[in-house]
Amino acid sequence: MTSFLRSGSRTAAAGLMLLVVIQCTDQPVVDPPSRGIGAAAAVVSGWQQEYEPEIYVGDALFELINGGAEVYHRFGFVQALATQYADGDGRSISLEVFEMKDIDGAERIYADKTGGSGEPLQIGDEAAGEDYYLNFRSGRFLVTITGFDSQPETTAGILLLARAAAAGLGGAS
């Protein structure tokens, strides 16, 4: 009986080690270390986070953006953060932050997402705003903030969150 337990323990330990190795191989090496993707989920006056930020790593990105995740992976996707904010009047805005392995990857994704359109904004390294959303890049981070309507209060909230997120990521706000 004890030999069976020892054998089972060794099998369980080997299985656990294999699981750890599999989990670790899915994690890309980032150089230099991340400044902290969580810093983008900033506190914004008049807007409250509706839920804790969710982090997506590896193939979990397909859960966040079904369709198009392959492009992010091709250009060095590391991880993504997503959360949603609401104001006291029922308006909502979502925040998605994508960390890429390097600035080149973030620039390529930004160019792909904006297609050269949108109103240029002074947020992060480069930014473009549309009616109810905006994209900006700060270093190797790409940020998309989307409102669920184009009311002036929502677009003002989008701008507030964008500036706070850029400051959190260490970029110009």
Task: Give 122-150 pLDDT, tens digit per residue.
Answer: 999 999 999 999 999 999 999 999 999 99
* Cβ atoms of residues 115 and 75 within 8 Å: no
In the structure encoding, which two tokens stand for residue 92, read together?
């909502």
Position 36 confidence tier, pLDDT thresholds 50, 70, 90:
confident
Match 């804790």 to its residue by tokens.
Answer: 52
Residue 9: pLDDT above 70? no
Amino acid 20: pLDDT? 40
Task: Give 37-95 pLDDT, tens digit per residue.
Answer: 999 999 999 999 999 999 999 999 999 998 889 999 999 999 999 999 999 999 999 99
Dist CA 81 CA 36 (whole Å)? 11
Amino acid 172: pLDDT? 53
pTM of the model: 0.80
In the structure encoding, which two tokens stand for residue 130, read together?
């549309």
